[in-house]
Amino acid sequence: MALEEKREKRPPVTPMMIEEEAALRNGSRGLPPGPWAEAAGPRPRTTERHIAVHKRLVLGFAVSILALLAVTMIAVLLSVRFEECGAAADGPPRTGGNGSLSGVARQPHGAGQPPGRPEEDARGGEAVEEEEEEEEEEWQRRRELPPWARPRLPRHLRPLHYNLMLTAFMENFTFSGEVNVQLEVRNASRYIVLHAHRMHIEAVRVAEDKLAGGVRVARTFFYPQTQVFVVVLNRSLEVQKSYNLKIIYNALIENELLGFFRSSYVLHGERRFLGVTQFSPTHARKAFPCFDEPIYKATFKISIRHQATYLSLSNMPVETSVFEEDGWVTDHFSQTPLMSTYYLAWAVCNFTYRETVTKSGVVVRLYARPDAIRRGSGDYALNITRRLIEFYEDYFKVPYSLPKLDLLAVPKHPYAAMENWGLSVFVEQRILLDPSISSILYLLDVTMVIVHELCHQWFGDLVTPVWWEDVWLKEGFAHYFEFVGTDYLYPGWNMEKQRFLTDVLHEVMLLDGLASSHPVSQEVQQASDIDRVFDWIAYKKGAALIRMLASFMGHSVFQMGLQDYLTIHKYGNAARNDLWNTLSKALKRVGKSVNIQEVMDQWTLQMGYPVITILGNETTDNIIVISQERFVYDSDTKPKDPARGDNSYLWQIPLTIAVGNTSHISSEAIIWVSNKSEHHRIPALEEASWLLGNINQTGYFRVNYDIRNWKLLINQLTRNHEVISVSNRAGLIDDAFNLARAGYLPQNIPLEIMRYLSEEKDFLPWHAASRALYPLDKLLDRTENYNIFNEYILRQVASMYLKLGWPTNNLNKSLVQASYQHEELRREVIMLACSFGNKHCHQQAATLISDWISSNRNRIPLNVRDIVYCTGVSLMDEDVWEFIWMKFHSTTAVSEKKILLEALTCSDDRNLLNRLLNLSLNSEVVLDQDAIDVIIHVARNPHGRDLAWKFFREKWKILNARYGEALFMNSKLVSGVTEFLNTEGELRELKNFIKSYEGGAAVSFSRAVETVEANVRWQRLYKEELFQWLRKSLTQ
């Protein structure tokens, strides 16, 4: 799954997007080592027990005088009250008296109920009440939670195969389904507990497989707290036997973003609808009753019945289609291999497609709305997908497992994309590309999302993490391979060696430097915890750790290890220790002995990362002192787990060190640092030599030095920066800015380092500087001395801006052929110049906009369009805003639409910003997933920060209802709106708001408070120091 990520004109620095810390609890991490080990059910909390007892008394009373209407009313009222108790209520909801089920999900609305087949239904009635009472007491006596109330499914059953038959009614957005699950019994039990949520169940039948005899169903009920459906049988299912569970149900094709949902687009003035699924992580249960945990891999045979005006797609190819006379058709898909429920997918749409075939015969199709297919907007994605499947097959030495892969471009989706096996779904902006109007950045985004999803066909679909705590295993790999795979497509771009640093490493170290971060491997118990593991820590820290691992193992041994891992675990599940063991064995084969598990556990089970300090000891010969401590931005923040202070954090660190002097690097070494402080002898250390730690920044840590060494490094950069590698130049900039922000280093050091940039011709160090400056800029942009800072930055940028000039309009030239490094460097410098107010840059932007308006021809070079639009909107009058607004409505190209919308947030005019904020919630105007970006971008604009913050507070209920379930979007919004608040007043407002707010995103808010507190603290402690140095420096 790819989260929405944009490589924006100003980088999206979001230190609060991390989710809740899962504190280490004495090494107990949820699931015991064996994947099928019995999950220990936690005992009910006192309040739950209390409520259960209370409820029993009330219900007993109600039953005894049930005949009286008045009392019935009271009982109804009470049951409403219990529903409001939500998660605190305990015990199964009651079944109805006549066999109809209570506690079921909402009935489908609208005209024409889906045709359900009448079947014998669950038994109800007088005996049931009594039975339930007894059962409840029995569980209480055993001091155990009943199987339906446990956070994980009980392990006594295992699904082997599902037959799923669906009918989609697109005219009223409902669907009906019949699922037949073949079950293997591992332990005898009277209960069948499986996931089902928000559906109406019409009939349930259990039969011994291949035998006529049915097993009578005593009763059935939903237990909404754990999103399960429970079938209670008259007798126990027998061990080793296999049974068939048949459930007939119906539900809505929801107008939201999860489960089986609908979305629409306009073609030739007519609105068309499509239905598509998003099951990861826990939404398959909304589309069919199933064992919705990744470990329950099974085979699936799906059939979809729909009107013949639509086509249907699923993971596997269609085997046969059966047409009916009334204009309906049923597509029967081939059986899947063993797979997890959350990778299942289907779609009902009237898209068209283009097709290609890989060398090994995999048919790849790209499905999209017909106008996009006709324009060829899917051709780029189709072409690179074919090449990438070939790349991965070669790299992993495991062939792609299915006969086909469909890529589906949909207008609305909660994530950038989702890697369903054989049917990957992408939001249009991450897969459609019109080469005549796309920037390099856009091309890069599309490319990397596709590389990511394709990697998942192996890391995820084929080998699936056992449980969600290790979601980083699949997401970290897919994110890391975004860079490796893009290097395969564009060998000159050096993505893994260079851009990985700014886009992944530097960015995640911002998040992971908060005291309230969490380990990359997070404990997950409740279903409600699962969404929060999909955050940048899992993706980016996961990727950064994998890169560090690959680097100290050596890339070819690492690759061999991955090949073994995939081969051993294909069609199954694996946990992180399986990976560590396989990699250790691979190292052993080449004669190296490293216990990878021991090393990596420290990095994956501990939150945060170390800062290494290297002190050159001048009194003793060639001896240096190396110490490590946990890096945190706000050292005032108390650690979240007070039992373990920051002092107890220790890592085994593969520290590489280079010794250099004015003309060259004289030696390199690797030192494994595992203590708080160590002495090491460094040969060839001379009077004027400098030390540089973390060569090419392959390690996940920061390095600090004594001031003398920093000065030597600055001197080296100024005299001849090429002695130090491009990655280390970028690394020094990022480390210095962040060490200063956290108070480890005087504020002037990073500003002195960036002086050498006037001679820097490589993109990466500029990019690192631009990203590192961004949070600093946001800390200062509303202060009265801001112009001093502004002036300093402009001076650093001026000469390179003059040297590089503006790009010409290269509409005819394919982007792919353009020089990526050079164009990206020029773009970065123009961006800095325009946003810090370089006069020439402003004039140039205004001229280009005026030309567009007067000629109605857009001749603005593609790669800088977003900068020009934004600068134009911020400098020029309201007419320009209206013009851009009009273009936003009229353009059909998704890439263009997005940057036009973002440009509107750049205005200085508060009325316009308010108007835009209010329009952003109108789904007809702004797509749901884009509204968040509008609000966040207004918050980045110093003229709009307070407006966005106020708007956010006023609309919180609406926003939370809209995005709450897709937690990632919600936390992105919370962090985006609050991360640059930095005054005492704003901190108070934030705390007051949190006190009064209702529901959702609690973790994001505690993160927000820590970030704003750190901002306020920086202002108090370091702002003046910075301005003093700047004043002095500007007058020199």
Between 101 and 544, whose beta carbon lies closer to Zn ion? 544
User: Least CB distance from residue 545 to Zn ion, whole Å?
Assistant: 16
What's the burial of 363, exposed, middle or buried (CB within 10 Å: 0-12/13-18/19+)?
middle
- 252 makes contact with Zn ion (CB under 5 A): no
Inter-CA distances, 71 with 65, 74, 75, 126, 130, Å: 7, 5, 6, 18, 20
- 533 makes contact with Zn ion (CB under 5 A): no
User: Least CB distance from residue 282 to Zn ion, whole Å?
Assistant: 16
Count of CB atoms within 10 A of residue 534's CB? 23
DSSP 365-390: EEEE-HHHHHHTTTHHHHHHHHHHHH
Cα–Cα distance for residue pair 509/522, rounded to 1 Å: 17
Between 431 and 478, whose beta carbon lies closer to Zn ion? 478
Using DSSP's 3-state secondary structure scheme, residue 115 falls into coil
Q: What are phi and psi of 702, to 5 degrees?
A: -105, 160
Between 340 and 863, whose beta carbon lies closer to Zn ion? 340
At residue 783's C-alpha, the angle toward residues 779 and 788, to 5°, is: 95
Using DSSP's 3-state secondary structure scheme, residue 600 falls into helix
Between 473 and 703, whose beta carbon lies closer to Zn ion? 473
Interface with Zn ion (CB under 5 A), residue total 3
Per CB under 5 A, contacts with Zn ion among 944-963 are none
Position closest to Zn ion via CB: 1
User: Least CB distance from residue 480 to Zn ion, whole Å?
Assistant: 11
Task: Confirm whether 453 is a catalytic residue.
Answer: yes
Between 475 and 578, whose beta carbon lies closer to Zn ion? 475
Between 463 and 626, whose beta carbon lies closer to Zn ion? 463
Inter-CA distances, 533 with 341, 473, 912, 968, Å: 18, 12, 37, 9
User: Least CB distance from residue 728 to Zn ion, whole Å?
Assistant: 30
At residue 452's C-alpha, the angle toward residues 446 and 458, to 5°, is: 145
User: Least CB distance from residue 344 to Zn ion, whole Å?
Assistant: 16
User: Least CB distance from residue 475 to Zn ion, whole Å?
Assistant: 5
Applying CB under 5 A, the span of 1-9, 120-128, 494-502, 722-730 interacting with Zn ion comes to 1-9
Count of CB atoms within 10 A of residue 141's CB? 8
Answer yes or no: are the C-beta atoms of 393 and 400 closer than 8 Å. Answer: yes
- 1 makes contact with Zn ion (CB under 5 A): yes
Between 454 and 772, whose beta carbon lies closer to Zn ion? 454
Answer yes or no: are the C-beta atoms of 271 and 263 closer than 8 Å. Answer: no
Cα–Cα distance for residue pair 207/217, rounded to 1 Å: 10
**Closest to 940 measured CA to CA, from 249, 9, 122, 5:** 9
Cα–Cα distance for residue pair 156/153, rounded to 1 Å: 9
Answer yes or no: are the C-beta atoms of 563 and 392 closer than 8 Å. Answer: no
Cα–Cα distance for residue pair 571/317, rounded to 1 Å: 19
**Closest to 241 measured CA to CA, from 296, 189, 300:** 189
Between 478 and 575, whose beta carbon lies closer to Zn ion? 478
Between 260 and 968, whose beta carbon lies closer to Zn ion? 968
User: Least CB distance from residue 288 to Zn ion, whole Å?
Assistant: 23
User: Least CB distance from residue 452 to Zn ion, whole Å?
Assistant: 6
Between 2 and 987, whose beta carbon lies closer to Zn ion? 2
Inter-CA distances, 560 with 269, 451, 465, 495, 593, Å: 54, 20, 20, 22, 16
Answer yes or no: are the C-beta atoms of 108 and 169 closer than 8 Å. Answer: no
Between 243 and 480, whose beta carbon lies closer to Zn ion? 480
Per CB under 5 A, contacts with Zn ion among 977-1016 are none
Residue whose entry in the numeric block shows the structure tokens 């059939």: 303
User: Least CB distance from residue 353 to Zn ion, whole Å?
Assistant: 24
Inter-CA distances, 433 with 27, 368, 376, 436, Å: 47, 12, 8, 9
Going by C-beta distance under 8 Å and a sequence separation of 6 or more, which residues neighbour residue 10?
A: 774, 831, 835, 940
Per CB under 5 A, contacts with Zn ion among 461-500 are 475, 478
Omega of the bond leading into 281 within 30 degrees of 0 (cis)? yes
Inter-CA distances, 189 with 226, 234, 372, Å: 19, 10, 54
User: Least CB distance from residue 474 to Zn ion, whole Å?
Assistant: 7
Radius of gyration of the chain (CA): 30
User: Least CB distance from residue 459 to Zn ion, whole Å?
Assistant: 9
Per CB under 5 A, contacts with Zn ion among 741-780 are none
Write the single-letter amino acid at 357.
Answer: V
Using DSSP's 3-state secondary structure scheme, residue 611 falls into strand
- 788 makes contact with Zn ion (CB under 5 A): no
Pick the catalytic residue from 5, 132, 453, 523. Answer: 453
| β-strand partners of 166 | 177, 304
Between 297 and 479, whose beta carbon lies closer to Zn ion? 479
User: Least CB distance from residue 456 to Zn ion, whole Å?
Assistant: 5
| β-strand partners of 161 | 182, 299
Per CB under 5 A, contacts with Zn ion among 146-185 are none
At residue 463's C-alpha, the angle toward residues 459 and 466, to 5°, is: 110
Catalytic residues: 453
Interface with Zn ion by CB under 5 A: which residues?
1, 475, 478
